[in-house]
Structures are given as C-alpha cells and as structure tokens.
Amino acid sequence: MADNTLRSVAFPVLDAAQIAQIAGCTKVASVRHPDGETLIHTGDRTIKVFIVKSGEIEILDYSGDEPRTIRIHGPGSFTGEISHLSGTPAVFTAITRGECDLLELSQDALRQVLNQCPTLGDIILQAFIARRQMLRDSPDFVGLRVIGSRYSPDTFRVRDFLARNRVLFTWVDLESEPQVDKLLKRFGVTEADTPIVACSHMVLLRNPSNEELAERTGVHQALAHEVYDLIVVGAGPAGLGAAVYGASEGLKTAVVEAVAPGGQAGSSMRIENYLGFPTGLTGGELTDRATIQANKFGARISVPAPARKMRFDNGYTVIDVDNGEAITTKCLVIATGAQYRRLEAEGVERFEGTGIYYAATTAEGRICEGCPVIVVGGGNSAGQAAVFLAEHASKVLLIIRGGDLNRDMSSYLVRRISQTANIELLTNTIIRRVEGNSHLQKVETYNSATGQTQTVETPAVFSFIGATPRTEWLPAEIERDEKGFVRTGAAVKDSPYWTAARTPLLLETSRPGVFAAGDVRSGSSKRVAAAVGEGAMSVQLVHEYLRQM
C-alpha cells in the first residue's frame, strides 16, 4: 500500500453524522478536558478511544532518545490503534492541546461499534491496523529496545518471543551496532548484563524469562475465576479459527497458548495456496488478521500459558496452566498442533538459537544475510523457508533424506525451488555433526546413496523435519493413536472412556465435550486451510453439545 494511501486509511476524519451515529450505537461519554491534560500514558492497559469534537490531541512517542510527535488529531479525528483491542499496553501518550470537547469510548463500547455499526466499524478498525503498520515501518519509531548478541541463545529467545507476539521492538546487535558501547553506558549496563529490554532511558528487564516478558509487555491475560463456554488450547490456525467463530457466535471464549499465536504456520514467510490470497501472504499476516478478529469479537488470548494438565470436575473440564491458573470451561477444543522434531546430529544442543533454528522469519533472515545456509526437510514448510532464505543467503542447500522432493512437497514449490539459481538440492542426505565455537560454523553431511561425507561452512541450519503432536499434557481419558495424535469421531465410539449414550460427534474426542482440531488431530490433512476449517467446524459441534447438556 502506497504511503499516501496508508496515511489516508490511518487517519480518517469523521463528519458530524458519523460521530452522531457512533453516539447512537453505544454508550459514550461527552467530556470537556482542559489544555495539557494527559489522556493516555505510554504503558496504560485500560485505555479509551477519544473522538475529537473540538480542540486537538497530540500523540507522542516516548520510546526513543527524545519525545517525538506522531500525530495531532483535530476535530473529527480519533485516537487509538491495535492495543485498544488486544488489551496490551499503549505504545503512545495522548495529551490535549487547548480545551477539548471529546467523546470517550471504553473498550466494550468500542467493540459494540465494531460489531454493530459495520461501516463505521470498518473505518475505525482499518485505521487501527494501518497505524500499527506505520509504526512497524517507521525508521523513527523505536518501541522497546532489545540489546544483545546475535550469538546469544537468550537474545534469540527474547527477540523470537517479542516478534512472534507482534510486540514492537528494535534489536541492537552487539556485533554490528557501532554505537553499542555508548548505549550500554547510557543504560548503566555491560555486555555481561545482556540481553536487556529497555524503553526510552530506562532498563525494564535483564535477561528476562518469557513469562516476565509477557507480564511486562501485557501479552499475558489472567483467565481464572470464571467459567467459560469454550476454552481453546493452542492459537495456531485451528485454535484461532475456533476462537473467532466461538466469540462471534456469542460463546464466552478464551485461548491459552504456550508461546505465541500462529503455531507453525505463523512463522512461514509465504503461504501461496491459501484460498482467497492469490499473491500469497505470510504466516505473520494471517496470524495478525486472525488475532485481530478474535479480539474484535471479544475472545481473550493469554500467552504464555502452557497447558500442563487436563482434569474433569462435576461435568466441567479444568485446564491447569503453567502459571498456576486453573481455568474451568463447559467445552474445550484441543488445537495444540504439532512441532518439528529436534534435528538429530552430534552437537546440535550447543547451537539451538545460535545457528540451529526451527523457523525461518525476517529475524533469522537478517542473521544469515550474504552467507550460505542449510535447510533440512522435504515438506512445504522447508520449501517455503528455502525460497525465502534464498533472497537473503548467498546459497541455500536443501537437504532431504529421501530421493524425491515431489513426494511430500506441493508441485508449485518444487518448481519454484528448481527455478531459483542459488538453491541446491541434496537428496539422500542427512546432517551427522555440527561444530563451532560461540556459534555454529560448519556442518558435516552424509549421503546414504554414495557413502560420501561433505563439510559445509555455514552460520545457520533451518530444520523442518517430521512433526510430533503436542499432546504430552493430556490425560488417559483423551485417546491418541500410536504416534500420539488425538483420535476423534468414529475412532473413539468404542473407547472405554466414552461416557455418553450417543455417538461421538465428528471432531469429538473420547471424552464428551472435548474436541480436537487441526494438526493435533489424528487423520488431519496438516494444511493451513484445513486447520482453519476444522477450528470453525468445532464451534458448530460445541453448540450441538451445549444444546444437549
């Protein structure tokens, strides 16, 4: 989208009739504010949307070295961006300039406008999305600062967590930033303290855990002490599909996710066979849109909240999560997906996060700029990673254990790979050993057809081999197949754990009221579109189950 078009979408001006329509659509307060009043502080969690009837509101960014004016809203303009829907902290400060007459919308009132006044709701929501995109694209917006070495596993973990949870931040690499010594001195820290997370002139966290990051950035939301109609465990395509349909159809819905929304699909840099997107989209874009939809309809998403145990209490299902919360629900959808198997080669453990990666995103692309890299795997995820990395790396070696790339990869990707000059396919090949000092430096491969070994100098290996279901937390009452995937429907009708007089519903597990959708389900097709469809279908079955209660 061109800059001028994006700016016009980001900053629309409502006329008097539109403002009156909003006031008639939901409960709003009309309040006069004096000059110089701070309406929103950076970091505020419960924030209102302000529509300017008269006066001006200045929007300020305090995340950088000096305060910076982002925008001045005049009559007909309104404040806000995506954090108003997600419940994450405000990334800006809003101050009145001159005496102002404002309409104020709470988060609940905002959702009413979005869902009950579709034309106006679209204008506001598109503005929020465009504003967030402008912040991401702006060279002047800093957001949080992550200062750390590219060779530090903890720096990689912090960056990966923030990026996958769509938190706005700037990475300062100890190895490449020329002013890093001055920056560390300004914050009063040394290289030994890194990675650190800072904002403006203040150090917020030193080598934080994911849980600490989630609390400080507002990603985590407490969910306990309520009974939900539907809990979804896992926020991949299936889980987000269930969340959107559940919340939009009036179910009190929440999602618990171990790491970040998106699942495996969320780290894909190009999905070209998803219906309705002929030019393709990234997994991040798909995740962003689905998460915004879920938030729009009122679904609550909590990260990181790994499910550790499922138990049953008086007809309800209870999920115990890692942080000690116990969440009670009438129905549950298991959508925890599958994860890539760890690369089996000597020395791998030393370099995970410093050369061995299980996703290929922009962050990893920056690390391997101009270097040769290796991609391991013969499925679509490996193919998408190889094509993406070929834009950054000097050469991509695509390694597969078998002899035919067409066996597991879509034909359009096979063609794309064969037409990309700097991708070389190595068949019948595995990695036997990885070596390096503080980071990965070289890899030894073995060809089972020829018996030959080869040493390749590379700073990065990207592994996309196999998939193991995330079902280790499930109790015996949830039957699984020999590979650990959850059985559903006709496959569990004779299960000793099935307690209902009726036949299990299509996606229902061996426990009534507990469903499975997406890659975690035995027999699923392991495709993004199918996972989204199963997530949506599970909600229809949830309604059917609830009617029978």
Using one digit for the tens of pLDDT, what is the confidence trace for 388-426? 999 999 999 999 999 999 999 999 999 999 999 999 999
Contacts of 513 (CB under 8 A, 6+ apart): 317, 330, 331, 332, 545
CB 357 within 8 A of CB 463: yes
Clarify whether residues 157 and 111 are in a common domain.
no
- Measure CA 102 to chain center: 34
Average pLDDT over residues 354-382: 90
Q: In the predicted model, is pLDDT for residue 268 greater than 60? A: yes
Clarify whether residues 47 and 127 are in a common domain.
yes
| Domain end position, chosen among 81, 114, 137 | 137
Clarify whether residues 133 and 148 are in a common domain.
no
Clarify whether residues 439 and 514 are in a common domain.
no
Q: What is the band of 329 on the pLDDT scale with cuts at 50, 70, 90?
A: very high
Over the stretch 12-69, which tens digit does the pLDDT of each residue have? 999 999 999 999 888 899 999 999 999 999 988 888 999 999 999 999 999 988 999 9
Q: In the predicted model, is pLDDT for residue 2 greater than 60? A: no
| Domain end position, chosen among 426, 448, 463 | 463
CB 112 within 8 A of CB 165: no
Q: What is the band of 491 on the pLDDT scale with cuts at 50, 70, 90?
A: very high
Number of domains in the chain: 4
Task: Give the CATH number, domain containing residue 180.
Answer: 3.40.30.10
Domain membership of residue 183 (yes or no) is: yes
Residue 179 CA: distances (Å) to CA of 10, 186, 201, 204: 34, 11, 15, 20
Question: 12 is written with which tokens?
Answer: 């629309």
Q: CA-to-CA distance for 200 and 187, rounded, in angstroms?
A: 10
Q: In the predicted model, is pLDDT for residue 194 greater than 80? A: yes
How high is the pLDDT of residue 210? Answer: 94
DSSP conformational letter for 84: H
Clarify whether residues 73 and 158 are in a common domain.
no
Clarify whether residues 234 and 325 are in a common domain.
yes
Contacts of 300 (CB under 8 A, 6+ apart): 87, 221, 223, 253, 254, 255
Q: In the predicted model, is pLDDT for residue 1 greater than 60? A: no
How high is the pLDDT of residue 153? Answer: 92
Domain membership of residue 241 (yes or no) is: yes
If residue 206 lies in a helix (H) or strand (E), which one and from where to where? strand 202-206
> How many Å is the Cα radius of gyration of the chain?
25
Clarify whether residues 122 and 185 are in a common domain.
no
How high is the pLDDT of residue 39? Answer: 97
Phi/psi for 181 (5° steps) reads -65, -45
Q: In the predicted model, is pLDDT for residue 341 greater than 60? A: yes
Domain membership of residue 274 (yes or no) is: yes
Q: CA-to-CA distance for 96 and 335, rounded, in angstroms?
A: 45
Question: 480 is written with which tokens?
Answer: 């699984």
Angle at 54 between CA 51 and CA 60, to 5 degrees: 60
Q: What is the 3-state secondary structure (H, E, C) of 390-427?
A: CCCCCEEEEECCCCCHHHCCCHHHHHHHHCCCCEEEEC
Average pLDDT over residues 209-232: 91
Clarify whether residues 47 and 133 are in a common domain.
yes
Domain membership of residue 531 (yes or no) is: yes
Average pLDDT over residues 165-187: 92
Task: Give the CATH number, domain containing residue 15.
Answer: 2.60.120.10
Enclosing domain of residue 161: 144-217
Clarify whether residues 458 and 473 are in a common domain.
no
Clarify whether residues 150 and 179 are in a common domain.
yes
Domain membership of residue 171 (yes or no) is: yes
Domain membership of residue 222 (yes or no) is: no
Domain membership of residue 249 (yes or no) is: yes
DSSP conformational letter for 271: B
Q: In the predicted model, is pLDDT for residue 75 greater than 80? A: yes
Domain membership of residue 66 (yes or no) is: yes
How high is the pLDDT of residue 267? Answer: 82
- Measure CA 319 to chain center: 22
Q: CA-to-CA distance for 154 and 243, rounded, in angstroms?
A: 31
For the whole model, what pTM was predicted?
0.92
Q: In the predicted model, is pLDDT for residue 253 greater than 80? A: yes
Task: Give the CATH number, domain containing residue 369.
Answer: 3.50.50.60
Clarify whether residues 211 and 172 are in a common domain.
yes
Residue 369 CA: distances (Å) to CA of 117, 147, 394, 398, 425: 47, 20, 8, 17, 20
| Domain end position, chosen among 411, 442, 463 | 463
Q: CA-to-CA distance for 159 and 165, rounded, in angstroms?
A: 10
Clarify whether residues 472 and 331 are in a common domain.
yes
